[in-house]
Structure 1
Amino acid sequence: MARISLAAIWFWHGLVPKLLFHHVDEQAMLVQAGLSIRLLPSLGVLEIVFALIILGSWRWRYIFPINILIMVLATFAVAHYSPEYIRAAFNPVTLNLSVISLSLAGWLSSPMLALASRCGRKPAKEQP
C-alpha cells in the first residue's frame, strides 16, 4: 500500500497541477527559484515517470530512501525559495512529511513481503 500510495501521489502531482492546469502556485515557486515556468510540463512528466519507476521497481526497496531524500530536498528548496508556502493551509511540509512516512513504512515492511523467490515451501514429491 505504501508503494502504491507514493506512486499515486507522484502521479497526481505531476499530472494535475503541472500538466493539466499549470497551477499558478507551481509557476510561482519555479519563478522564485530562478527557473523558467516553461519547465513546469517537464517537471510534471518527470514526476509521472518517477511514479512509474516506483511501481515498476516493486522488488527494489532502495526507491524508498531515494524518495525520502527527494522530499527532504524539496522541503528545503520550498523553505528557502518560497517560504510563504510553508505557512499555507495545504503546505509542502505536511505533504512531504506524509510522503516520507509512507516511504519509511515501505522501507521497513519491504523485507517482509511475500515473494516467490523467498518461498520456504518445498516442492511436493512426485507420485509414481
Structure 2
Amino acid sequence: MTEENHVVDLNELKTMLQLTSDKHNALLNLIIKNTEQALRFKLGLAQKDEFPSELGFVSLEVCVRRYNRISNEGMASYSQEGQSITFSSSDFDDFEIDINTWREQNGKNVKSLGKVHFINPYRGGSRAVRP
C-alpha cells in the first residue's frame, strides 16, 4: 500500500497530535500503514478491496492512540501522584460496534448454515438438526 492510498491523511494526523515539523513523518507513516492493515483484517478486506472511507475516523483515532502509546507499549495501568493511565488491550476496542456494523452492512459476517448430524447407535439412524 503506497502512501497515496492511505485513508488517513498525514497532515490531519499531525494536526491531531499537534506536531508542526516533519521530524516524525516516517514513524507516522508506519503507524498509518500498520493501523490500516489491522483494520483491513478486522473488516475482512483483501488487499485489492477498496478501503471504506466511512471508517476513516477509526483509522485516524487509532493512529493517534498508537502514537501516544509509544514508549509505553504493553502498559495496562500506571499511577503516579494521583495521575492514572490505563490502555485498552486493543486500540480498536472502542470501535468494535462500528466495525461490526460495517461488516454486517457489507456482507462480511456471512456464516455458514450447515447441518449437524447426530447418530444414535442404538436407534440405527441419523437425525439432522439445524443450528
Asked if TM exceeds 0.5, the reply is: no
Q: Which has the higher helix share?
A: 1
Bigger RCO (CA 8 Å, 6+ sep): 1
Higher strand share: 2
Q: State the structure with more CA Rg.
A: 2
Compute the TM-score of the two structures, normalised by the length of structure 2: 0.32
Report the TM-score when normalising by structure 1. Answer: 0.33
